[in-house]
Structure 1
Amino acid sequence: MQTLMNLDNLTSIDQLADFLSGTQTVAFSVLSSPAARYEWVQKTLVRFRYPTLSRADQGVVIRVLVKVSGYSRQQITRLIAQYRTSGAVRRRQRTVAGFTPKYSPADIGLLAAMDERHDTPSGPAVKKLCERALLVFGQTEYERLAQISVSHLYNLRKSVPYTRKRRHFAKTRPRQIPIGERRKPVPNGRPGYIRVDTVHQGDLDGKKGVYHVNAVDEVTQFEVVCTVEKISEYYLIPMLEYLLETFPFTLRGFHSDNGSEYINKRVAELLEKLFIAFTKSRSRQSNDNALAESKNGAVVRKVFGYSHIPSRFAHRIHLFNQEVLNPYVNYHRPCFFPETYTDAKGRERKRYRYEAMMTPYDKLKSLPGAEAYLKPGLSFAILDQVAYALSDNQAADRLQKARHKLFHTIHEQNLKSG
């Protein structure tokens, strides 16, 4: 049977080795105070006559001292060196006072008061004010602050004594997003510069309705309306690809407001791939996207109204747009086209002459060299087949019939689901 021994009863190196290997059961208590640990280390070194031991036996003693004392090997090595030199292991209590603060709480209070009365100017301005307070106006309490470095002045503003006296809250600054150029497009009479806006079809009981994406060419007023369930990238990017492909002429510009559905990297990458310039509305220029917004009311709201339409009907509405609404708007719905003139005071004005009213398709055909603007593979002979397949009245009747059927279906399915 193995004997339970006390740590102080270990008198040989072999017993220490057995203790380290776990073959000898030893009872010992962990020494709590540093003074007691130092005293035990010295007694152990004396008991085993550490300086007279071989190198291997000294290693055994060191491992025991590390295990029992809890000190690192480096610390035990330093204590042994102290024992070799002086014959004793003594704890040297040393309390470091640290750096004496140069700026007192009173100085920091003066700084907080200075910031308060001058509305937190820049660091150099505060330093200059402290210098003037001392040198010009003889306020000696600013002597230390007059010599402060600007960088350390900002450190004092973050200190606890400062924040206890004064807290400064700055308004969140808008973050500039380097996507799109903030300017008004200049088409110079060429088609292909479209204005894009989003129309939301209302909320009901916390549920979002469908979103209409409305794109209008600035010169010809050629318009494409698409409908999506949500304006997230998953739905919007494929729809934008379809929208850009639907226009019969080559696109050169894409202008939107500052909504995040368009001002994002995915849209920018899509337009860059197609070599389409990306512009966005300027601040305090409410007319930058006025054309698309006017079409929202004149076309989208007239057809779909303002009532909530659940998002699950987005695909059905998009088919209606594709097959009925877009052909009617572009080939059968006349629009006013403004003429710009300069009045007697030298200001530019717009007039809307009845003689200049025509459909977007007729406007496209009336442009000088219009055939050159069409996409490769398209011609006016092909587009004429679409434009003149139905009369204006037939296209309008078709639109009303399809819209009535669409809303009847939406109403019936809402009744079944509700």
Structure 2
Amino acid sequence: MRERYTRMTGRRAKTKLLDELVEVTGWERKHANKVILGQNRKSGTKGQRGAPAQYNGAAIEALKSCWLVMNQPCGKRMKDMLLIWVPYLEVSDEVQQQLKTISAASIDRSLKNFKVTAGKKVRPPKPASGVKILVEVRAESWSTCEPEWTEVDTVAHCGGDMSGSFVWTLTSVDAASGWTELRAIWNRGQHASLEGLESIYESQPFKLLGVDSDNGGEFLNYFVYDWLKKKDIHQTRSRPYF
């Protein structure tokens, strides 16, 4: 083959050599050129592509934690929120600087795989169907002058956005006297609602004979049902969608 290129030099010789290498090996022309130049990747490895990583593992972990606590915002919203949150994070100065300068696109790219495994946003609990059957529906209005019969409900403090986790107010109002008890609970969960009812039960100056609520899952669940039954407190609920 060397004799065939004795009269061909320079670019023409290199082009001809590359043409024959592609023809013999079946490689792509770009790959064959890299092999000739000694730039081929080692066998069994993919090599490193793209720009080097700008954010270390500690910064990514802090980003994941913030994303969950911030109620899983998109990258554009989270970028502005990070400027407020970063000074309060217990991380190194290097990590703080990385979180302050990270772009919205880099946030979404860094959290792309984590969002799939992190799960959906927390939603208020649904009522247990078995408990709904056990709790009778109260259709008439309160007509008692005797205290100890209360209406309970929850009020959301969400700023108009019901997604995610936030504080609710558990409200208990005595039908006869108007005595009102308020308790702050987190996310209207079943355990949090039960703790609020227990606190009200211990604080109000009279016994509790009955509790009436809507059909929300914070009241129609086995935790609340078993506790009321143990305390011999009559539980009722309103008609659905009424």
Using structure 1 for the length normalisation, give the TM-score. Answer: 0.25
Q: Which has the larger radius of gyration?
A: 1
Which gives a bigger RCO, structure 1 or 2 (Cα 8 Å, sep 6+)? 2
Using structure 2 for the length normalisation, give the TM-score. Answer: 0.42
